Amino acid sequence: MADLRRTCLYDLHEELGAKLVPFAGYEMPVQYPMGVLKEHLHTRAQAGLFDVSHMGQVILRPKGDMAALEAAFEALMPVAVTGLAEGRQRYGLFTNARGGILDDLMFANRGDHLFVVVNAACKETDIAHMTAHLGPVAKVEPVTDRALLALQGPEAEAVLAALVPQVAEMRFMDVIAVDTVFGALWISRSGYSGEDGFEISLPEASAPDFARNLLAHPAVAPIGLGARDSLRLEAGLCLYGHDIDENTTPVAAGLSWAIQKARRRGGAREGGFPGAERILQELAEGAPALRVGFHPETRAPMREGTVIWDAPEGGRNVGGITSGGYGPSVEAPIAMGYVPQDCAEPGTRLWGELRGKRLPVTVSELPFRPSTYKR
């Protein structure tokens, strides 16, 4: 694994007995000795600590005023940036001219700049994309000396508040910056597990100490990418490159909620983003295929790539699974994928082809498990 990068918590992962695997160019913990299943359940019951330092952190610093940066950033996404209050974060999507998704991201208004977190696998292209389009109005500054940790689960607030009391006052998608003995912490109340929790950006130099402090709490266990994946799958959240990509539109992906009224037809700042024609049309008329959940009716998990049919034999190949596996909290196999509109109604029975056999699945609503964000 010579060419792989390591996060500043690599030594800690090894010390904790992590199994390390290549992921998005980094050597990352896929699981710790507890194992994926128990790590998943521990996060839902108490609190899990995730190293997500491989993700891209970027500051967009306006050359002039923030309004010009916000307007330029809006031109890359069907999402409202203007109007996002200081101290608030929002989910965003870079789109292409065909309305496909280049990446999904989080961005926060931190008063005199925007702070953006993008997927690890896309960060170089995202930075190039932002630099190319925002150059006239903003400096695009990749943050390369800070770690990113996620603390997720019902005990996350109590654990983090012991070190940073201010977090108890935060609501879902609030962001704050706090000076501590660990340096400046940039904290958002968010995550990707469906649980209440926080993401904490902090200086690499103090990140191992900070992580050890959190792990010293009996409610906190280190959690690898394996459980991160099953947690987000149960929460119905998309994984870029699997459930969404350059060929899926936000409407097809069930992400229309991320497109505020102001950017839709008749809105104050209608359109004006890549792929607007297609996305606005799909918002009004629906997309030909939609992302749905599947409950396999047998106990056999159905994974990415499983072909979906509309009949137990013969019939049409109507779609496929883009993410799937076993849901430890729902105690059953779960999956999601795309099917045409006429197959997308929850309760519709379809068939997934597994090892040459077609096994029944039921189309279901997403998420599989209600989220517990602190609104």
Partner 1 sequence: MKYTEDHEWLRVESTPEGDIVVVGITEHAATQLGDVVFVELPEVETVVATGDEVVVIESVKAASDILAPVDGEIIEVNAKLSDKPGLVNDDPTGAAWFFKMKIDDLSVLDDFMDEDEYNDMIG
Binding residues: 199
C-alpha 277/C-alpha 283 separation (Å) is 10
Q: Is 303 in the site for partner 1 (CB under 8 A)?
A: yes
C-alpha 158/C-alpha 153 separation (Å) is 10
Beta carbon nearer to partner 1, 40 or 123? 40
Task: Give the contacts of 230 (CB within 8 A, at least 6 positions apart).
Answer: 36, 40, 325, 326, 327, 328
Q: Is 193 in the site for partner 1 (CB under 8 A)?
A: no
Beta carbon nearer to partner 1, 136 or 356? 356
Q: Is 307 in the site for partner 1 (CB under 8 A)?
A: no
Beta carbon nearer to partner 1, 153 or 226? 226
Residues of the binding site for substrate: 199
Closest approach of partner 1 to the CB of residue 311, in Å: 23
Choices 1-9, 236-244, 247-255, 326-334 (CB under 8 A): range interacting with partner 1: 326-334
Closest approach of partner 1 to the CB of residue 22, in Å: 15
Q: Is 328 in the site for partner 1 (CB under 8 A)?
A: yes
Closest approach of partner 1 to the CB of residue 159, in Å: 25
Beta carbon nearer to partner 1, 225 or 339? 225
Please report the sign of the dihedral spanned by the C-alpha atoms of residue 264, residue 270, residue 272, residue 276. positive
Identify the burial level of 365 via C-beta atoms within 10 angstroms of its C-beta, where 0-12 means exposed, 13-18 middle and 19 or more buried.
exposed
Q: Binding marks (x or -) toward partner 1, 152..191, rule CB under 8 A?
A: ----------------------------------------
Q: Is 83 in the site for partner 1 (CB under 8 A)?
A: no
C-alpha 273/C-alpha 337 separation (Å) is 26
Give whole-number Cα distances, 9 to 52, 98, 212, 290, 307, in Å: 10, 39, 10, 39, 39
C-alpha 173/C-alpha 170 separation (Å) is 8
Closest approach of partner 1 to the CB of residue 30, in Å: 8
Q: Is 194 in the site for partner 1 (CB under 8 A)?
A: no
Q: Is 355 in the site for partner 1 (CB under 8 A)?
A: yes
Choices 103-111, 173-181, 300-308, 334-342 (CB under 8 A): range interacting with partner 1: 300-308
- 199 contacts 191 by C-beta, under 8 angstroms: yes
Beta carbon nearer to partner 1, 24 or 300? 300
DSSP letter (8 states) at residue 167: G
Q: Is 299 in the site for partner 1 (CB under 8 A)?
A: yes
Task: Give Cα 146 to chain centroid, integer Å.
Answer: 19
Upstream peptide bond of 154 is cis (omega within 30 degrees of 0): no
DSSP, collapsed to helix, strand or coil, labels residue 138 as: strand
- 42 contacts 34 by C-beta, under 8 angstroms: yes
DSSP letter (8 states) at residue 368: S
- 106 contacts 117 by C-beta, under 8 angstroms: yes
The one among 230, 248, 260, 364 contacting partner 1 by CB under 8 A? 230
The tally of CA atoms less than 13 A away on the side-chain side of residue 11 is 7
Interface size with partner 1, residues (CB under 8 A): 18
Q: Binding marks (x or -) toward partner 1, 21..60, rule CB under 8 A?
A: ---------xx---xxxx-x--------------------
Choices 112-120, 276-284, 323-331, 340-348 (CB under 8 A): range interacting with partner 1: 323-331
- What the block records as the tokens of 43 is 């996060």
State the residues that interact with partner 1 by CB under 8 A: 30-31, 35-38, 40, 226, 230, 299-301, 303, 325-326, 328, 333, 355
